[in-house]
Amino acid sequence: MITEVTILGAVEAAIYREDDRWRAIRLAPSGKGTIDCTHSLALLMSSRAEQRALPEPLRDIDELETHLRGWSRRYRALDLLIAGMDSQLTDGTRRTCIRAAEELLLWNPDTSHFVRARLLGCPPSEEADISGGLRLCQEISAYLVGSRMIERPEGDKVTAENATIEGLYGALQKVESKIPVVRRILDEVLFFDFGGESNPEAARRAIIDAGVVADVASALAGEPAKVHAKDPFLDEELKDYRFVLGQFMARIHDLMEKKSEKSLIEEKFSRDRGPLTKFSDPGPVLEAAKFGIPRSHSTPFEIKPLEAPVEIFDPAYPYVMGGANPSQFPRAHVFSREAA
C-alpha cells in the first residue's frame, strides 16, 4: 500500500511512503515506466515546484504512475502554451511548442480544463506576446489547410486540430484586462475576510483550478460562463467553498453593478466625462477616482473629480508556473519557459 503521496507535476516526480519508508520516483525518459530517485528525496522535498497531495492511498506503483503522468501532462502543456507567447523565442520554436501543446490538449479534457483555468485565472506578464501566439496559430492552420493535411469546415471556422490553442489565446486576449480585477477581489476575500479553517493559499489554488476565476473573468468580458454553485472538484478540495464563493460572487456582482452605473453616467454626461473608474485597462494596475456632484450644480459641465487617480497594485501570484509555497505578499509573475 502506498500512502502520503505528493505529486510534483512540474518536475515529473512524486514522493510517497511505502513500508514505513519515504521513497521517490520520476517518469522514465522513454515515456513508459518510472525510475527510482529516492537518492534525490531531500532535493524534491525542498523543491519550489508545486506540490499536490493525493487524499487517498494507492494500490501500487502503476496507479501512482497514472496519477503522475496525468499531472505532468498538465504542467507540460501549460509550459508549452506559455512558450508559444514568448517573444524571446524564434517563431519556429514557438510554432513547435504550439503544435506540441495542441497534441497534449486535443484528446485530454482534464488537461484542457487545467490549462484554461490557469491561463485565464492568472494575470499574464506585460512581456507575454498573446497576439503573436494567436498569429502563429492562424499561420499553422493556414499551412495545414493549404497542404490539404486537413480540411477547413464550412463557414471558414477554426480547424479542429488547432482550435484548442487558438481558442485559448483568443480567450486570453479578450479577458486579459479583467483577470487582475477578479484576482484582487478573490485575494481580498480569502486573505482578509475569509475566517475559515482552510489554508487561504490552498483555497485560492483550488478555486483557480476549478475554473472559477477564468469563468468570472470571461463573464466580465461578455462571454458565457459556468455556474459553480455545486462543483465536485471544489467540494473535494475545499470544505467551505460555498461560503467563500458566496462572498466572492457578491463582490463581483457589486463590481458589475458599478460598471453598469458607470456606463449610464458616461452616456448621460458624454459631453464632459470625468475620469471614471476604468475596468478595461490592461495590466495589474487599476485606476480609481472618486466623484462628487454638488447639489447646487444644475449642469453636468460643473462636475469635477475630488481626488487624483489612485494606483492599486494587484497581487499576481506565480500560479501559472506552479510555485510550491508562494509568499502571501504581492509578487509580479513573469511568463517564462523555465520550470519552477
Same domain for 150 and 40? yes
Q: Per the domain annotation, does 340 fall within a domain?
A: no
Same domain for 102 and 189? no
Q: The pTM is what?
A: 0.69
Along the 340 residues of the chain, how does pLDDT read in single tens digits? 889 999 999 999 999 999 889 999 999 987 788 999 999 999 998 888 888 888 888 888 999 999 999 999 999 999 999 999 999 999 999 999 999 998 888 778 889 999 999 999 999 888 899 999 999 988 887 765 544 444 444 443 333 444 478 889 999 999 999 999 999 998 888 888 766 666 788 888 988 998 889 998 988 888 766 655 556 667 666 777 777 788 888 888 887 777 655 554 444 444 443 333 333 333 333 333 333 333 333 333 333 333 444 343 444 434 444 444 444 434 444 444 444 3
Cell 462571454 found at: 223
Of 74, 140, 80, nearest to 112 (Cα)? 74
For residue 266, the enclosing domain spans: 179-273
Q: Per the domain annotation, does 86 fall within a domain?
A: yes
- Helices 212-220, 200-209: crossing angle, 10 deg rounding: 60
Q: Name the domain boundary from 215, 246, 273.
A: 273
Cell 506503483 found at: 61
Q: How many CB atoms are closer than 10 A to CB 151?
A: 10
Same domain for 92 and 238? no
Same domain for 59 and 161? yes
Same domain for 240 and 145? no
Three-class DSSP category at 312: strand
Of 89, 80, 102, nearest to 160 (Cα)? 102
- What does the pLDDT read at residue 103? 87
Q: Name the domain boundary from 147, 175, 203.
A: 175
Q: Per the domain annotation, does 283 fall within a domain?
A: no
Q: Per the domain annotation, does 134 fall within a domain?
A: yes
Number of domains within the chain? 2
Same domain for 242 and 130? no
Q: Per the domain annotation, does 335 fall within a domain?
A: no
Same domain for 268 and 166? no
Same domain for 193 and 166? no
Same domain for 221 and 99? no
Q: Per the domain annotation, does 324 fall within a domain?
A: no
Question: How far apart are alpha carbons 9 and 24 in whole angstroms?
Answer: 13
Q: Per the domain annotation, does 88 fall within a domain?
A: yes
Q: How many CB atoms are closer than 10 A to CB 285?
A: 11
Q: How many CB atoms are closer than 10 A to CB 132?
A: 16
Same domain for 215 and 122? no
Same domain for 122 and 222? no
Same domain for 91 and 199? no
Question: How far apart are alpha carbons 4 and 28 in whole angstroms?
Answer: 22
Three-class DSSP category at 105: helix
Q: Name the domain boundary from 273, 292, 321.
A: 273
- What does the pLDDT read at residue 232? 64
